Amino acid sequence: MFPARGAGPVRQDAVQPGLIQRDRARLWHPYAPASADLPLWEVEAARGVRLRLRGEDGARHEVIDAMSSWWSVIHGYRNPVLDAAATAQLAAFSHVMFGGLTHAPAVELAERLVAMAPAAPGRPGPERVFLADSGSVSVEVALKLAVQYQTARGRPRRQRFLSLRGGYHGDTFAAMGVCDPVDGMHTAFPGLLAGNIFAPRPPAAASATPETAQAWAAVVAELAAAHSAELAAIVVEPVLQGAGGMHAYPAECLALLREVADRHGLLLIFDEIATGFGRTGELFAADHAGVVPDIMCVGKALTGGYLTLAAMLCTAEVATAVSGGQAGALLHGPTFMGNPLACAVANASLGIIETGGWRADVARVGTGLATGLASALELEAVREVRTIGAVGVIELHDAVDVTAVTAAAIRHGVWVRPFRNLVYTMPPYVSTTADTEQITAGMVAAVAEVHEARAHERVPARSGSVS
Ligand code: PLP
């Protein structure tokens, strides 16, 4: 809660000469047109799980951030441990170049990440860390590394990737090239995106059987066999495809991917940028299956949402091969690589994760989401409700009216950012049971208010369950 002006959902003030209008005149927002009509709210303050928003009409709303600022703010806003880490590092130095220099925050962070990374008996986990500025950049680095690895192993023709329909891996070019070729951005950049190979989406977790998983794996295996001479790696979001549709699939599929990759000399890349650090109920989504990737990307929650930072981790075998290859180095090195401020906050964030409390938090939030969202299934407009870990999804039959649902949810004290036909949430781990109740009630109410009247004309053909 906000101590002073935050109490109470709405307060009318004289409208200041519009920050929102000034924004609209000068700024781009994610996946948005440069438009005078862009719906926007100003964030005036943030604390714990709550944001204080101010609308264009001057009205203030205190809302729970049901999005954790896109999966990142897992420990809440103005977390005292993260604040202290940032302040201490500011007092030391906030940035130095990473070429030829090093510092304690980066070294400690690399050691922490390696200690956490998936590993299995006889299969050492990732041991070498490249610190990148954002999730997309870490994916770029992972893809480069895979190609360099194959070249170093004497297979320079292996320059393509096997990825999944429904996948999302970021907005930079190589990352876009492994996103879903239809729903991603391939069609906007036909001359620039490399032709990669796409396997179907794995079967949905809620309805999959060992047989459907095997049938899917057989298709993947066929594609891998047909293209192995030109493939460097398989790239997937393990267990949960996020921005491509919030699609949860069985963990057994990861073991099948591991087998296919090994059979054809492909590296296995897990993009854990959204799923990492507990979100799906295990520390990494790979841990649901005990599968160890050769390369792994993390980001988003890495700094608890304080600063932009991501990391690409790879096995010692991959690192050694690339370092001994013709180039003699991994060919990437951004200006803000290993930014000390971001690394210091990441260390504080991972320090909280290391206490292990996240497991009970994610379980509590997940139970609250499953319970609270179940009633959405009674709505005609709703096709399916699903949860995994601390992620909850209401899938509608039709595209969400994003503006109307967002505004309705705000009236119910909840910030959501729907897309396509999905109204979804991944609350901060520090959300209480009451917070989760408010989130789910707000989501269900917003869908009911905006979409139920429109849905009454349709005959429901609902399939689905809370899983
Ligand atoms: N990979 C996955 C699975 C993601 O969900 C995202 C972002 O949503 C990215 C990569 C890209 O990360 P960033 O937005 O930090 O570049």
How far from each other are the two terminal CA atoms of the chain, in whole angstroms? 32
Q: Is the pLDDT of residue 460 over 70?
A: no
Overall residue count recorded for the chain in this entry: 467
For position 456, what pLDDT does the model report?
72
Q: Is the pLDDT of residue 77 over 70?
A: yes
237 lines ligand 1 (CB under 6 A): yes
More confident of the two residues 58 and 13: 58
Q: What would the pLDDT profile of 9-23 be if each residue is shown by its tens digit?
A: 545 455 455 999 999
- Which ligand 1 atom minimizes the distance to the CA of 175? 10
Residue nearest to atom 15 of ligand 1 (CA): 135
d(CA 135, CA 312): 9
- Which ligand 1 atom minimizes the distance to the CA of 310? 15
273 lines ligand 1 (CB under 6 A): yes
Q: What would the pLDDT profile of 226-241 be if each residue is shown by its tens digit?
A: 999 999 999 999 999 9
Beta strands in 307-381 (DSSP E): 310-314
- Residues 150, 232 contacting (CB under 8 angstroms): yes
Closest among 194, 254, 266 to 227, alpha carbons compared: 266
Per-residue pLDDT, averaged over 433-456, amounts to 95
Residue 115, phi then psi, degrees to nearest 5: -65, -30
Model confidence band, residue 458 (pLDDT cutoffs 50, 70, 90):
low
Q: What would the pLDDT profile of 168-207 be if each residue is shown by its tens digit?
A: 999 999 999 999 999 888 889 988 887 899 999 999 999 9
168 lines ligand 1 (CB under 6 A): yes
Model confidence band, residue 467 (pLDDT cutoffs 50, 70, 90):
very low
* 59 C-beta neighbours (distance < 10 Å), count: 16
* 27 C-beta neighbours (distance < 10 Å), count: 11
276 lines ligand 1 (CB under 6 A): no
69 lines ligand 1 (CB under 6 A): no
- Which ligand 1 atom minimizes the distance to the CA of 241? 3
* 364 C-beta neighbours (distance < 10 Å), count: 16
Q: Is the pLDDT of residue 8 over 70?
A: no
Q: Which among 72, 134, 136 is the best mutation to test ligand 1's pocket, defined by most ligand atoms within 8 Å of the CB?
A: 136
Per-residue pLDDT, averaged over 116-135, amounts to 97
Q: Is the pLDDT of residue 157 over 90?
A: yes
Lowest mean pLDDT among 93-97, 420-424, 456-460: 456-460
Model confidence band, residue 89 (pLDDT cutoffs 50, 70, 90):
very high
For position 459, what pLDDT does the model report?
53
d(CA 244, CA 261): 23
Q: Is the pLDDT of residue 120 over 60?
A: yes
Q: Which among 246, 300, 309, 424 is the best mutation to test ligand 1's pocket, defined by most ligand atoms within 8 Å of the CB?
A: 300
- Residues 299, 311 contacting (CB under 8 angstroms): yes
163 lines ligand 1 (CB under 6 A): no
Helix, strand or coil for residue 269? Answer: strand
CA atoms within 13 A on the CB side of 449: 17
* 66 C-beta neighbours (distance < 10 Å), count: 28
Q: What would the pLDDT profile of 294-312 be if each residue is shown by its tens digit?
A: 999 999 999 999 999 999 9
Q: Which residues are catalytic?
A: 31, 168, 271, 300
- Which ligand 1 atom minimizes the distance to the CA of 137? 16
CA 284 remoteness from chain centre: 12
Helices (H), 375-420: 402-411
Closest among 65, 118, 89, 87 to 298, alpha carbons compared: 118
